[in-house]
Structure 1
């Protein structure tokens, strides 16, 4: 994984949600933050896992096409609740194939720039349907 994070030990804030990487532990190995703090009184949003399904109901066989479609679907589901990337507090990524990190991070950085949420990545044998290769679940908060 590429480590694009250049900050450690300080806190990045976007008004209400605080993100930090403690100095007394290793820096993140990817584009994520170790700790995300959500203020009291926030509304919590949890999405179902988003997959690479397009608007025609087609799931492409190409892994990176599924990644692109998945990020498009994430943006759509967030938009349905007037949520933006800065509202995202946690991302869970499940993949049945090795992730092309250069491609994945190009899509990731379009969504987050450098204000990264907490993230977990798991490689698994299969997802809900045999043609699904990646699924991404989003947790978000808004005051």
Structure 2
């Protein structure tokens, strides 16, 4: 293997139905990073009522947690998204594409009845790897 994180959509698989990749390969000697679920809280500790405002804050928080370990979008290998209400995909994908471009990681999405606090509407967990 070439020591790089690689992503692909096998030709034997259906095309992804969203902005993700079917499989991501991590080199053997890479450091693995797993974040707690990031939510839409701002630096003052406020969580907006509006779903898309929470999405925006969540992506800001994801960028900050990545930067804290000198990671960027190329290091993200897996994203888990949980939401308590219908996702505005046009808005989420505008934030998503702003972070990833077209270098999409693997992704799982789940709709659930509630998250850790009643005001939280979306939570996103990141898995990242940094090859040596």
TM range (shorter): over 0.9
Shift of 1:25: 1.4
**Is structure 2 residue 22 aligned with structure 1 residue 37?**
no
Task: Determine helix, strand or coil for the equivalent of 1:107.
Answer: helix
Partner in structure 1 of residue 128 of structure 2: 140
Superposed CA deviations along residues 69-108 of structure 1, whole A, max 9, x for unmatched, are: 0000000000000000000000000000100000000000
Partner in structure 1 of residue 77 of structure 2: 89
Alignment RMSD (CA, Å)? 0.7
Please point out which of 14, 22, 25 is paired with 1:26.
Answer: 14
**How many equivalent residue pairs?**
129
Looking at structure 2, the residues matched to 84 and 77 of structure 1 have their Cα atoms a distance apart, in angstroms, of 10
**Is structure 2 residue 113 aligned with structure 1 residue 130?**
no
Shift of 1:125: 0.2
Looking at structure 2, the residues matched to 128 and 112 of structure 1 have their Cα atoms a distance apart, in angstroms, of 27
TM-score, normalized by length of structure 2? Answer: 0.97
TM-score, normalized by length of structure 1? Answer: 0.89
Task: Determine helix, strand or coil for the equivalent of 2:45.
Answer: coil
Superposed CA deviations along residues 123-142 of structure 1, whole A, max 9, x for unmatched, are: 00000000000000000000
Superposed CA deviations along residues 14-73 of structure 1, whole A, max 9, x for unmatched, are: x71010001111110000000000001000000000000000000000000000000000
Looking at structure 2, the residues matched to 16 and 51 of structure 1 have their Cα atoms a distance apart, in angstroms, of 29
Query: In the TM superposition, what are the counterparts of 1:91-130 in structure 2 within 5 Å?
Result: 91-130=79-118
